[in-house]
Chains A and B, each alone.
Chain A
Amino acid sequence: GEDVEQSLFLSVREGDSSVINCTYTDSSSTYLYWYKQEPGAGLQLLTYIFSNMDMKQDQRLTVLLNKKDKHLSLRIADTQTGDSAIYFCAESMWAAGNKLTFGGGTRVLVKP
Chain B
Amino acid sequence: DTAVSQTPKYLVTQMGNDKSIKCEQNLGHDTMYWYKQDSKKFLKIMFSYNNKELIINETVPNRFSPKSPDKAHLNLHINSLELGDSAVYFCASSPQGLNTEAFFGQGTRLTVV
Contacts and interface: CB of A to CB of B under 8 A. Distances in A.
A105 B41 CA distance: 7
B103 interface: yes
Contact of A97 (B56, B90, B105, B106): B56
B101 interface: yes
Could you say which of A35, A42, A44, A48 has the most chain B C-beta atoms within 10 Å of its C-beta? A42
A77 interface: no
B101 to A, nearest CB: 6
Contacts of B100: 30-31, 33, 92, 98-100
A104 B41 contact: yes
A45 interface: yes
Given A100-B102, A104-B42, 10 more contacts: A42-B90, A43-B92, A43-B104, A45-B102, A86-B41, A92-B100, A97-B56, A98-B94, A98-B98, A105-B41
Interface of B: 4, 31, 33, 35, 40-45, 48, 50, 55-56, 58, 90, 92, 94, 98-107
Contacts of B105: 42
Contacts of B104: 35, 42-45
A100 B98 CA distance: 12
A45 B103 contact: yes
Interface in A85-101: 86, 88, 92, 94, 96-101
| Interface of B: prevailing SS | strand
Contacts of B92: 43
Contacts of A94: 98
A98 B55 CA distance: 10
Nearest to A101: B45
B16 to A, nearest CB: 28
Given A98-B48, A98-B94, A45 B42 contact: no
